[in-house]
Amino acid sequence: MNNKTLKITMIGLMAALCYVAFTFMQIKIPTPGGATSFHLGNTFCVLAALLLGGVPGGVAGAIGMGIGDLLDPTYVIVAPKTIILKLGIGIVTGLVAHKVFHIQRLEGKKLYQAVILSTIAGMLFNVVGEPIFSYFYTTFILGAPEKAAKALASWNAITTSINAILAVIISSSIYIAIAPRLQKNGILKQLAPKD
């Protein structure tokens, strides 16, 4: 399998994992301005960015969770917001992981630190961006009353923070566990972006 085919296949696989984790590993919370949820979708968006780079990882998250939104009547109206934010998570995580730390060259304690800091960067983008973007999207695009939009943004801040903590722990652990094996058989070199 050539490098391009492997990368496209991995984007599809990671998008599917994002979809499943977002859709089936979710607890919905209704608010006056719409719904928010606890979910594990961001975990695989971040993992995709660590494995594939920022844009491919963000595309996987945007596709997987975007489809999740489009197929759920509760979330269909916020699909554009989801697609933008998940793409952002991937880009920030991948940028820090591959352009700042060059994680594909690291091992041991330095790899662990770089992976954890990269995942924190991506999830920090989401923790700040989700409530703010949600407020403006709900108010100006969807036309919800300001009070309802503020309620949704407040709940989004809570759920997004918990989702972020879970994503950092789980995605970092998975990457650290599988990276040596992927490195050893040469797959990681084929997946990771070039320096």
Q: Tens of pLDDT along 35-84?
A: 788 999 999 999 999 999 999 999 999 999 999 999 999 889 999 999 99
* 116 assigned to some structural domain: yes
CA distance 143 to 123: 28
Does pLDDT of 194 surpass 80?
no
Whether the pLDDT of residue 1 is over 60: the answer is no
Confirm whether 194 is domain-assigned.
Answer: no
Query: Would you say residue 29 has pLDDT above 90?
Result: no
Residue 49 maps to a domain: yes
- Res 195: pLDDT: 62
pLDDT at 30: 84
What's the token pair of residue 165? Answer: 């903590």
Which pLDDT value is given to residue 62? 98
Tokens of 17: 């994992």
Q: What is the pLDDT of residue 163?
A: 94
Q: From its phi and psi, is residue 5 left (phi > 0), alpha (psi between -120 and 50) or beta?
A: alpha
| Structural domain harbouring 11 | 3-26+34-100+108-188
- pLDDT grade for 121, boundaries at 50, 70 and 90: very high
* CATH code of the domain covering residue 135: 1.10.1760.20
Structure letter (DSSP) for residue 83: H
- Asked if residue 154 belongs to a domain, the reply is yes
pLDDT at 27 over 80: yes
Residue appearing with tokens 């919800």: 144
Q: What is the pLDDT of residue 31?
A: 77
Question: How many domains is the chain partitioned into structurally?
Answer: 1
Among 41, 79, 81, which Cα is nearest to 60's? 41
For 186, the enclosing helix (H) or strand (E) is none
